[in-house]
Structure 1
Amino acid sequence: MVMSKVDFQIGQVVDARNRLWRIERIITKKSEFEEDANINLLEVSSIDGVPSRCNLLLNIVKTSEGKEIVETIENIKEAKILKPDTSKLGNPDFQKVLIQAMRYDLIFGTSNFISLANSRVIPVSYQMVPVLMAMAQEKVRLLIADDVGLGKTIEAGLIIQELLGRRKINRVLFAVPANLREQWRSIMQRFFGIEAKILSSQTRRKLQKELLVGGDPWGYYNFLITSQDYLSRQEILERAIQFKFDMVVIDEAHNIAKPRYMMRSGGNKKSKRKNKMAVSLSKYPHLLLLTATPHNGYHESFASLIHLLNPELVDDKNDWAIDPENAKRFICQRRKADVMKWMEDDKKRKLFPTVHRIEEFIIPSVEFKEVIKCLDQYKDLVFKSAKEDGKGVRFIKFWGVLHIYRRLISSPQALLKTIYNKIRDSNEKTDTSGKKIKLREEEIQDILEKVRSNVTDTNTDENLEEYEIDRKNDSEFGSEKLGPDLIKKLSELETLTKKCLGRKKDPKFNYFYNNTLQQLLNFNKKIIIFTRYIDTADYICLELTKIVQKKSLMKGFEIIGVVGTDPIHVREEKYRKFLGLEKGIMVATDCMSEGIDLQYSSNIVVNYELTWNPNRLEQRNGRVDRFGQPEKDVYLRTLIIKESLELAILDLLYRKIKNIGGDMGYIPKYFGNMDLIGDILNDYFEEEEEFRFVKTKHGAKQLTLDNYGVFADEMKEMLSNHVDNNMNNIISEDSFYGQTVFDFSDVQERMDEMEKSIGNINGLLLFLQKSLPFFDCSIEPMKKSNFPPNAVFKITLSDTLLEIMNKDEITGNECIITTDPYFGAKQQDIETLSLKSPVLNSIISIVKEKGFITTHDFYGRTAAASSDLISELTAVLYYKIRYLVSTKEQSIMEELLPIGLKIYEDKPLLKREKTEKLWTQYTSGKTSDYPGIANQVKQNIKDLFDRSDFDSVIKNAIKSNLCVVVDNSRNLMKNLQAKNLVDLEDLKGMDDISIISYDPISVTLFYPGGY
């Protein structure tokens, strides 16, 4: 093993590339291009210019013939920050800008939320709880299991920003479902300024072309997003884990939990693969698991997620027993009700909208009932033909029939497409011998699992697009060629179904248009419709488009369809278009129902059919019923056809969900008025022993769900997995709901401290307004009818600033910013102001650079001003102090400390409060406006620096401040320890803080009353 040779220390100032830098981390890594060689890098931050941070290539250490060879790459020399130059006086207004720029660029310590300033979101206190939990851990290991709509992605982004700001992480890997890759990339870039690359089989080659020969994207890019399915492939995983990542984020983490069947032999290979991938990724230092549904009803699977975070929390040798008291430090799990109760004292803004959920029951037409009757006859023929099949093949056929029922319930067009596919598939088969296909048992089980999960909306195979899932279910599994009786019945079904096409003939669409749509348009002119099937989405779009062309009521409306066959970028374009419409309807499949924030586009969701997975229903509704919804009310509708299998499924879900209230103390908000649903169901059903029967006009009782014979038990078991009584008991025992170990004041205090240190969003605006004119740039408010007042600004940039900006971040020489984050979230082309804003970053960098150059007109390290707060000549010096926190994994924090000194007094120090007040409230003016004062100021500054006790006075002031920093850390430790929120080992060294270095930044002379 080649040893690294590094002669520099963290905190040291070095001179390289004709600039001054401060060393933040020393990195040694294996060379990608030479075997048995290490590269030593210095991760540095700029003291005086652009860019603000980079890596300096120190040397390469390798062995040749048993000898160590050190090859120097860059010329890096030790340096130090000199005191301000007394021969040059600058503008006090520019000096204020310089000090503020330095403050924005600090590494903050444990007392503040860095993420608040480093992101473009304005969170409320409940969203900072996971950040506080992360700050309490030496290595961040968290399961964030908040309800849908509470903002788990934002919470994860805040944690990432917090750790980046503290220099605890550098490289992050995101393992997410394939359909969420673009969403994560967009959120990280838009809200947190993190440029993450998507790595997949399609993008890998393109990314490699951007690198040097032999370079590997897995090791080169600091932020990578990849799909769980892609990363779980053995050859890909083996390649990825060769490289070091500081943090791994796994979204929809229930997908990677250890499946119950993995506790024994057998089981789905793909699910096993994902779990093994997660186990490999859990070896990295920091791990975030995100899911709104962490528990699938099996204790072992849930426990496996906690085991990933910390194996000591779970006894996998003893029924996977969880240590709940210690586990709560690693789990943040809250319902909306918990958050609303916790935040009830926060009157500043309404966190969540009032939700109006209604299930609308549709009476089928005579023609539609004929279709159902014909489909029942087709089902009977399939069941009859399946008697000779083995149990597994029978179940495959039964689930295939259930798929056809679902297609009918969705729309006539969806059923017609299935009929066409079935007839075509049968005609393409040439085997007419009538022999049954011989499949191995594992093949049968694999097919059964797929068709079963497709029908129940529980398929998590991200390799299959929506149309592929539906197409596979249209195929006739387990048989060769359909018999003439089945073909004849399908042809009859086709004829009857065509009679139900169109707005007036289709009972569901007719009801939707004349009732649901008309009512919802009174609340908003923009509506989102979700449907399970692409064919139904196309059908709805076609019928609505016909209406828009003919009906004055819908004049000016635009109909936009978004389905799984659309490439990701097309989906984004369509959504952006919908976002900008004043009147429109977006018809979408579930490609838009998970992990995508739609709350700024609408407050209305219509579920065109009942999804058989209640969690899927909640995911859909949660796209608009979520934090950040600007409207006070959200309207949710679910359309259900009476006298159909859909009603039987609703009956099953209803009865199971009602039981949750007794087991868990609350009823999930899958549906609206549960009492009303119960009354409607009871009108159609009656109890007899353990079954439910439908009432007929003639008083006879027809078995509904159980009419499927042996298949009924199979179907009941699969559907009830979502809400099974026993499952609820298990979830209740394993739950960590209602966790409020941090109270409101804990979090709010930290948020207030951050605002005091950095300032709020209006402070960022003020900084831009004061600094931009120095570089021939302008900033002016924009007034438009749809703009919030005094919250939108146009910035015109000069060539000076454009030269240092990333050309990908701006078009032309103008940009528009807003200080209203809610307005910014709705406007894709308007940026919400934050420390991640390109313009702000650029102005901070150029202010730092110009402020340290003595030949520049804006030299900012010396200045003079007047004040009525003092009676004798006083100086305020700013020092940048860097501390080392000696926890197990050492960390750095910085502070900009003002020190007030009376230049000609024996006891010169001013109290901190008076110093800060003096600096804040002085009256500025250019020294050139006061003839003869410049030489006097220079002499006074020189006298200050020449004092024999100057260095000792400064040193003592900094040491005294260190005591305050240590006391703050100890108070934090006591608070965390009292709440049992952190491992005592992680607390060790938190109050062991030492001064690495301190650098003079500026000096300002204050003359009493005026010059």
Structure 2
Amino acid sequence: MSVRPGSIVRFRHRRWVVLPSDDEAIVLLRPLTGTSEDALPVHRQLADLLAYSLPSERLEADRFPLPDPTQLTDAEAVRLLGQAARLLLREGAAPLRSLGRISVRPRPYQLVPLLMALRLDPVRLLIADDVGVGKTIEAGLIARELWDTGEIRRLAVLCPPPLTEQWASELREKFHLDPVILAPHSVAALERTLPPGRSLFRHYPVIVASIDYLKLPRNREPFLAEPPDLVIVDEAHGVVPATTAERDPRHLRYRLVRELASDQRRHLILLTATPHSGIQRAFQRLLGLLHTDFEDWDLDQLDRARTERLARHVVQRTRADISRQWPEASQLYPVRDAIERTYALSDAYRALFQDTFDFCRRLIEESRQLPDRERRFQWWAALTLLRCVMSSPRAGAEALARREIPQAEEPEELALATELGENSFEPAELLGLEPTEFRPSDEIPSQRLELATTHTLALSETARRRLRELARQARAIEADPASDTKLQACLEAVRQLLDRGSAPVIWCVFVDTAEYVAERLRQALEPTDRDLVVECLTGRIDDQQRRERVRALQQAPRRVLVATDCLSEGVNLQELFDAVLHYDLPWNPNRLEQREGRVDRFGQPCERVTAVRLYGRDNPVDAEVIDILIRKADRIRRQLGIHVPVPEDEGWLAELLVHRLFEKPRQAQLALPIGPDPTEQLLSRWDADTEREQRRRTRFAQHALDPQVVTQHLASCDAVLGDEETVRAFVAGASQRLGLAVDARPDGTLVLQTSRPDTVPEPIRLLLPSDRRRAWQLAFTVPHPPGSEWVGRNHPFTVGLARYLFEVAFERPAEPIVARAAVLRSRLVSQVATLALLRTRFLLRRPDRPEAVLEDVLVTGCDLFGERWLAPAEARRLLDQARPEDDIPLAERRELAATALEPLAESLARTEPSGPLAELLAQRAAELAEAHRQVLAAAGERRRSLTVEPLWPPDLIAFVVLQPKR
């Protein structure tokens, strides 16, 4: 038979809904009470052949079953059935089709990138929202929407290696995509599952790949030979090289992404919280990935046309920007309390610092005759040696103990280090960097420190003895924790945070420091607090172990995490921790923001988070970093609400700190003329960059989408799919009806008592937590209270409840839980009225795209004989408010139900659409077409030329008869 998408057919003794299929030889059948995930593919010719011997294999036209007027229940059961029908919609008629399939409730501001993307063809978008705003959700929404509308069929996420598991989990759990991870540890297992002659990149439609795995030539070429339709690049700032050095590891990443971007039909989304590192050329290259024209534009000299064109491709908002446009969003983020906590060096530590400082001063003195690049590298070596010593006695001892083996010649690594050192001063990002890594290194760069010192200093036996003595001093301090006043200040701060119920993350630069601090915290805290777990996560632990240890911390009643910057980008810690303590201050203000953003972000359940910045009052290095860099960055952020990076490149930091720590005191001591102050130059350029950044954002801000338009689109989706309150009301009502005790809390959560599951139907019992001794607290908004579990429309419990009620109503109508008909007396009506709950289907047609079936749940109504029809809004109001006000004998109720069903059945039995129901569907189709066109208002003609056709007849799910109470 000829089947049409949206029609009802009978196959294998069941009724099915026909879904669109990309293959003409295949018919996709969805169970009447199921979702598209349950769709059954049926080969047309094979079904015809089997039908000769097995009649049940024949596809036959059928109709939706009418309700049985003898099976009656109350109006609340019908309302629950209607809510279940809405919550089971996956091919919803909402203009944003992805919202029906995701397991996350996006905030209105998170829809802005999606709406901007839908107005681009192809989608080329840079999402540079602030840390913790929700860029992963924003990108996932775009990917899911393009997938559901048929724009893409293959997707790849390129990200740093530590983030592959997190991305795969987000796509799987929140967006119901099924990704595989491509990384060195997983490729062999995936290749064993491939059909003969098929590549990984073609076989798996959704891939999350380590960008450092794909950038290697042996992997890059096969990937580029079969590239995906959409590429998402996370931490995109790490892709663009800051230098022209061909050995800069970023060049291989940049080459990979640039070749993907060269196909102007490919969709590309770039994600970064720090798009502008202070190096203008790198930012231009990043924009050039969106369109080659953007790479050559002077962003300070754009005319109106160019400004509007660029603004269509860039989303860059701070929390302040979002809160101004969306006042309700300010409640989604915690308040950050930044606290400065100081300590004074002990006598032993002060002596170690001074002796190390004298050694570094000699290193600086000896570098004066070197070429500029090598001299800067010596500056880095001196500052890093000081930093190691001041980080912890263990890190200092490790750095000092390995200065003894001189190198006879300057190896190739020094040339690379000096070349990179111009633009990558932060030690954690420089000399521990290997070509296969895309993350900060937290190891002490011992070999290259050795190169720097031996290249300049001919280490005599006296110098070697002096280094050994410094290392011995550091070991002595490590053995005597009382002499490490920095550690003692940290212990006191952690105790205070724990006493008030906080869970802190302690950030260190080096692995040795992190392990040292974790050991001392365990010794001091765990013996007196059996509920406390102190965990240490560094670059010496592989990604899988780090993830497992973070998951294990969820079971700890009280927890402290000591970590290095290997966790400072892209990792979400907000559900487990609400405070940070900077044991080592970062020398780049951006790193400070990344660290604090791990807990200060969307989804943090606490109203306030704490950031403790620990530094020495008499430590001149800390003093300079705090005074010049961190406080300046804080002032800019407080005044403008934006982060402006240190100007030009990070090489300025080396020159600045060397000048203030070594040169300025020397000039004053020798009464030498003092030249231009690098501090003033830096601050002046920083102020200029701040003004320029503010002007750019002001120009682009006028092109932001109107919040009212975004809210309107979200409201139209909620009208079809249901909002948070719809889910809460349904879960509460269905749980009570199925035998669970439900306690509604003032904070909007529900507590389900699961201690007596035997009273609950088995399909629902299997959805309850395994630990049934405790109550199950369910939350329906984000962020949710600690200890609760967020439940949305696609949560397994919500779906399980909806599906069970639907199946009972249609397949086991004798059970009293729900039914498809109800009769009651009410003062809401003056004459008998029939309210009909309809599931309607519409066929969406777009040029160059397969047809799509859209579904909606509508309420209409009429008088007892179908002569006068109610407006849908009036019918919905009556259904929501109707409550039984008097008893009606069963015989009378059945007679009223049978009489009321007749005009509905007669209207639905017509072969061609006509009458009030047909008019209702035609009006709804026009509304849906207009809503879809508004979403694509600025898109090309191909995507705006869409039509929506109602499919006849609609499904009568249930009806309620209201008899006047006199």
**TM over 0.5, shorter chain:** yes
Query: Is the counterpart of residue 893 in structure 1 residue 872 in structure 2?
Result: no
For the 8 Å contact 2:744–2:751, the answer to whether it is kept is no
In structure 2, the partner of 1:301 is: 282
Counterpart pick for 1:130 among 84, 90, 113: 113
1:832 aligns with 2:790: yes
| 1:293 Cα deviation from its structure 2 partner | 0.8
User: What is the CA-CA distance between 1:988 and the residue it aligns to?
Assistant: 2.6
Superposition pairs of residues 845-924 of structure 1, within 5 angstroms: 845-853=803-811, 863-868=821-826, 869=829, 871-872=831-832, 874=834, 876=836, 878-886=838-846, 889=849, 892-902=853-863, 904=865, 907-922=867-882
Partner residue in 2 for 1:763: 726
Task: Decide which of 486, 489, 496 is 2:466's aligned counterpart.
Answer: 489
Alpha-carbon shift at residue 50 of structure 1 (Å): 6.7
Partner Cα separation in structure 1 for residue 172 and residue 281 of structure 2: 36
Aligned to 2:949: 994
Residue 414 of structure 1: CA displacement? 0.4
Deviation string, structure 1 residues 695-751 (Cα, Å, up to 9, x no partner): 8799847999999xxxx99xx99x979985665566456547656733443333344
- Output the amino acid matched with 1:842: G
User: Where do 5+ consecutive residues of structure 1 fail to align?
Assistant: 1-5, 29-38, 62-73, 672-684
| C-alpha separation in 1, matches of 2:762 and 2:377 | 64
CA distance in 1: counterparts of 2:425 and 2:574, whole angstroms: 32
1:48 is aligned to 33
- Alignment partners' CA distance in 1, 2:944 and 2:667: 78
Worse overlay, 223-232 or 814-823: 814-823
Question: Is 2:180 aligned against 1:205?
Answer: no
1:162 deviates by: 4.8
User: Cα gap change, 1:50/1:421 in structure 2, threshold over 3 Å: closer, same or farther?
Assistant: same
Q: How does 1:492-507 map to 2 (within 5 A)?
A: 492-501=469-478, 502-507=480-485
Mapped to 2, the partners of 1:864 and 1:518 lie a distance apart of 62
Change (3 A) 1:739 1:137: same
2:252 aligned with 1:273: yes
Residue 616 of structure 1: how far off its partner (Å)? 0.8
1:803, distance to aligned residue in structure 2 (A): 6.7
- Distance (whole Å) between structure 2 residues aligned to residue 997 and residue 223 of structure 1: 36
Over 3 Å counting, the alpha-carbon distance change for 1:512 and 1:852 in structure 2 is closer
3-state DSSP of counterpart to 1:84: coil
Task: Return the alpha-carbon distance in structure 2 between the equivalents of residues 145 and 704 of structure 1.
Answer: 45
CA contact (8 A) 2:428 2:442 kept: no
With over 3 angstroms needed to count, the CA separation of the structure-2 counterparts of 1:900 and 1:855, relative to structure 1, is: closer
535, 554, 565: which is aligned to 2:540?
565
Q: 1:859 to 1:720 in 2, by over 3 A?
A: same
Return the alpha-carbon distance in structure 1 between the equivalents of residues 890 and 362 of structure 2. 103
Alpha-carbon contact 1:795-1:816 (below 8 Å) kept: no
Q: Distance in 1 between matches of 2:673 and 2:757?
A: 70
Provide the residue aligned with 1:225 in structure 2. 208
What displacement does 1:878 show? 1.6
1:607 to partner: Cα distance: 0.8
Q: Where does 1:384-463 land on structure 2 (aligned, <5 Å)?
A: 396=377, 398-423=379-404, 426=405, 435-437=408-410, 439=412, 452=425, 454-455=427-428, 463=437
Displacement of 1:994 in angstroms is 2.7
- Counterpart of 1:415, as a letter, is G
Name the counterpart of 2:334. 353
Call closer, same or farther: CA 1:289–1:610 in 2, change over 3 Å.
Answer: same
Structure 1 residues 388 and 670 mapped into 2: Cα distance closer, same or farther (>3 Å)? closer
User: How many residue pairs are counted as aligned between the two chains?
Assistant: 933
The separation in 2 between residues aligned to 1:957 and 1:948, in whole angstroms, is: 8
- CA distance in 2 between counterparts of 1:574 and 1:837 reads 26
What is the rounded CA distance, in whole Å, between the counterparts of 1:912 and 1:276 in structure 2? 57
* Residue 451 of structure 2 corresponds to residue 477 of structure 1: yes
Q: Which amino acid aligns with 1:590?
A: D
Residue deviations 1:592-647, cap 9 Å, x none? Answer: 22222333434322111221121111111112223343434333222233343344
The one-letter amino acid paired with 2:836 is V
Kindly indicate whether the alpha-carbon contact (under 8 Å) linking 2:428 and 2:441 is maintained by their aligned counterparts in 1: no
Match of 2:163 in 1: 180
Aligned partner of 1:34 in structure 2 is none
- The SS at the match of 1:625 is coil
Equivalence for 2:571? 596
Query: Pick from 614, 617, 620: which aligns with 1:644?
Result: 620
Structure 1 length normalisation: TM-score?
0.77
Q: Where does 1:358-373 land on structure 2 (aligned, <5 Å)?
A: 358-373=339-354
The answer to which of 859-868 and 912-921 deviates more is 859-868
Change in 2 beyond 3 A, CA 1:987/1:268: same
Aligned positions of 1:530-541 closer than 5 A: 530-541=507-518
Which residue in 1 is equivalent to 2:21?
Answer: 26
Q: Give ranges in structure 2 of 5+ residues lacking alignment.
A: 47-54, 647-654
Q: Which moved more, 1:153-162 or 1:917-926?
A: 917-926
Distance 1:330 1:652 in 2: 35
Question: Which residue does the alignment assign to 1:153?
Answer: 136
- C-alpha spacing 1:805/1:791, structure 2 compared with 1 (3 Å): closer
Question: Do the aligned residues in 2 keep the contact of 1:876 with 1:900 (CA within 8 Å)?
Answer: yes
After superposition, give the CA deviation of every residue in 1:165-199 in whole Å (9 maximum; x if it has no partner).
66665654222211222333344455455554333
| Shift in CA distance, 892/904, structure 1 to aligned 2, threshold 3 Å | closer
Question: Once the 2 structures are TM-superposed, how far is the Cα of residue 44 of structure 1 from its aligned partner?
Answer: 5.5
Structure 1's 358 and 917: CA in aligned 2 closer, same or farther, altered over 3 A? closer
Paired residues of 2:506 and 2:563 also in contact (CA < 8 A): yes
1:818 to 766, 775, 778: 778
Shifted more, 917-926 versus 325-334: the winner is 917-926
Shift of 1:1002: 3.1
Deviation (angstroms), 1:882: 1.4
The secondary structure found in structure 2 opposite 1:470 is coil
Distance in 2 of aligned mates of 1:410 and 1:703: 33
State how far apart, in whole Å, the 2-side matches of 1:647 and 1:208 are. Answer: 54
SS in 1 for 2:477: coil
Say whether 1:618 aligns with 2:593: yes
Q: Is the 8 A contact 1:107 1:892 kept in 2?
A: no
1:842 matched to 2:803? The reply is no
Q: Residue 207 and residue 798 in structure 1: after superposition, are their counterparts in 2 closer, same or farther (change >3 A)? A: farther
Q: Look up the equivalent residue of 1:759 and give its one-letter code.
A: G
Are 1:526 and 2:503 counterparts?
yes
Question: Does the C-alpha gap of structure 1 residues 825 and 403 become closer, same or farther in structure 2, counting only changes over 3 Å?
Answer: farther
Indicate how the Cα distance of structure 1 residues 383 and 117 shifts in structure 2: closer, same or farther if over 3 A, else same.
same
- In structure 2, the residue matched to 1:962 is 922
Residue aligned with 1:1006, SS: strand
Specify which of 291, 294, 307 is matched with residue 272 of structure 2. 291
Task: Quickly say closer, same or farther: Cα 1:810–1:352, change in 2 above 3 A.
Answer: closer
In 1: Cα distance, 2:779 partner to 2:394 partner: 48
1: CA distance between counterparts of 2:402 and 2:44?
Answer: 65
Residues 364 and 752 of structure 1, relative CA distance in 2, 3 Å threshold: same
Correspondence 1:923-962 to 2 at 5 A:
930-931=890-891, 934=894, 937-938=897-898, 941-942=901-902, 945-946=905-906, 954=914, 957-962=917-922
TM-superposed CA distance for 1:881, in Å, is: 2.0
1:358–1:854: structure 2 CA closer, same or farther, 3 Å change rule? closer
Amino acid paired to 1:295: H
Task: Confirm or deny: 8 A CA contact 2:928 2:948 kept in the other structure.
Answer: no
Aligned: 1:746 with 2:709: yes
Question: Matches of 1:530 and 1:703 in 2, distance apart?
Answer: 41
Matched, 1:508 2:486: yes
Q: How far 1:588 moved relative to its partner?
A: 1.4
SS in 2 for 1:1004: strand
